[in-house]
Chains A and B, each alone.
Chain A
Amino acid sequence: MKTRRLLIAALLLVLVLMAGGWPVANRWRPHTFHGMVIQSPQPAPDFTLTTHQGQRLSLSDLRGRLVVLYFGYTFCPDVCPTTLSEWARAMRLLGPKADRVQVIMITVDPARDTAEKLGAYLAHFDPRFIGLVGTEDEIARIATLYGIYYQKHEDGGENYLVDHTATQTAIDQEGYIKLVFPFGTKAEDIADDLAYMLR
């Protein structure tokens, strides 16, 4: 009798491992981020710039929200619109949780990107996105500290292009850099990571 019970228990254990183990492990396993995780012990460098609505805004003003920084420019022919479209789609996928996310685009072309132009450009993607403008020196410093390279092509006349790093940086609610998304990350993957950070 006792042996039979033990056999049933062993059989059940195997069944649990086979049938229930995978979903349980899937539910409890740590989230695998699509972006590159950073465990920085230092807060993200703070900065203050002007929004497309003309207000001064510091990164630290957004503490408590998940902030996504993207460096681009409105004359950008392909990389910027592609990236911003994915982020707009990710915001839609997040649903109500997106209200706790602030996507920010900092221009790397301050000579041509006025606040008005940046605001109108971002509204095409998602009216909740904020554009930031500043002086050449302010933007150069911030981009440097966030590892963002940019360089103006001098050979294009007035219609010049600007080479720039196309990664996006996610800063958590406590103000620490948490994730770096490479160019080409799909909206579904972005939303999956952000939903986990907002859980």
Chain B
Amino acid sequence: MRRALVYGLAALVGLLVIAAFAFVLLQPIQVLPRIRLAPAWVLRDREGRLVSNEDLRGQIVLYTFTYTRCRPPCPQPDRTMQAIYRRLAAADLGDVPVTLMTISFDVAHDSPAVLKAYAAAWGAEDDRWRFAVGTDPQRLKTVIGEGFQVYYQPREDGRFDFDPVYILVDGWGIIRREYRYRTLTPDVDRIVRHIGVLAEEVQNSRGAARLAYEAAHLFLCYAP
């Protein structure tokens, strides 16, 4: 009798272990890691309106940082943003809102009017792709440099040295993926796919399914 009970318990533990292994190996659900908190910000958009991170709470946001006078050989991260903007227009993400956000660090030159012309040149027709700039260089440095951990430095000729970076933030304000030019080639396909993975998590991670998503986080089932 006791031996049968031991066998039964052993079988139960075995089943749990096999289930855990199967989950890790087969990865039926993939997620993006919750890396760290994105910084807070209040900026002016191309219409001169104050806009903040709180206005975008609940939305998936892809950030990049640049300045409007960035011309080749300047890396022009908005070229990648433009491709993603076009791809997302045709993507089926359910009712999950996604916003692209270009933040300029050229406080002295990039007024809302300049941003507006710049946005039009890239074909950003609506608020699915927003452009904003700060008014206080010190505060902006705290947001971009310390918060998003993006390097940029003004040069004597008024232009900037900077590392092109794309940062994906979820509706909670948590950074879920960083694409840093010097370590990862910006890849439109991959970024769009990751936005899809995040949108799926937002849509499906409810009720009992939330347990499965939390298990995917626990077992590091991260989308490549």
| B-side contacts of A17, CB under 8 Å | 8, 12
Q: Which of B29-37, B79-87, B182-190 contacts A (4 or more CB under 8 A)?
A: B29-37
Q: B4 — which chain A residues lie within 8 A by C-beta?
A: 5, 8-9, 12-13
Judged by a CB distance under 8 angstroms, whether B41 is at the interface is: yes
Q: Bound state CA distance, A6 and B11, in angstroms?
A: 14
Q: A28-B16, A32-B214, A144-B139 are in contact. Are A39 and B37 (CB under 8 A)?
A: no
* B23-60 with Cβ < 8 A to chain A: 33-42, 50, 52-54
* Number of interface residues, chain A, beta carbon within 8 A: 40
Q: A9-B4, A13-B11, A149-B40 are in contact. Are A144 and B147 (CB under 8 A)?
A: yes
Of B9, B34, B54, B142, which contacts A16 at CB under 8 A?
Answer: B9
- Which secondary structure dominates chain A's binding surface? mixed
A145–B146 CB distance below 8 A? yes
Partner of A40, one of B16, B35, B40, B52: B35
- Check B174 for interface membership: any CB of A closer than 8 A: yes
In contact, A37 and B172 (Cβ under 8 angstroms) = no
- A24 with B39: CB separation less than 8 A: no
Alpha-carbon gap, A140 to B36, bound state (A): 19
Q: Is A169 in the interface zone, CB < 8 Å from B?
A: yes
CB–CB B215/A30 < 8 A: yes
Residues from 115 to 170 in B contacting A, C-beta threshold 8 Å: 139, 142-143, 146-147
- Give the A-binding residues of B (Cβ under 8 A): 1, 4-5, 7-9, 11-12, 16, 33-42, 50, 52-54, 139, 142-143, 146-147, 172-174, 210-211, 214-215, 217-218
Given contacts A45-B146, A144-B143, A163-B54, 16 further A-B contacts (CB under 8 A): A12-B5, A17-B12, A20-B9, A21-B12, A24-B12, A32-B211, A36-B174, A37-B214, A40-B34, A40-B37, A141-B146, A147-B173, A149-B40, A151-B42, A151-B50, A177-B37
Give the 8 A-B residue pairs with the shortest CB-CB distance, closest first: A147-B37, A16-B8, A40-B36, A13-B8, A149-B40, A9-B4, A149-B54, A38-B34
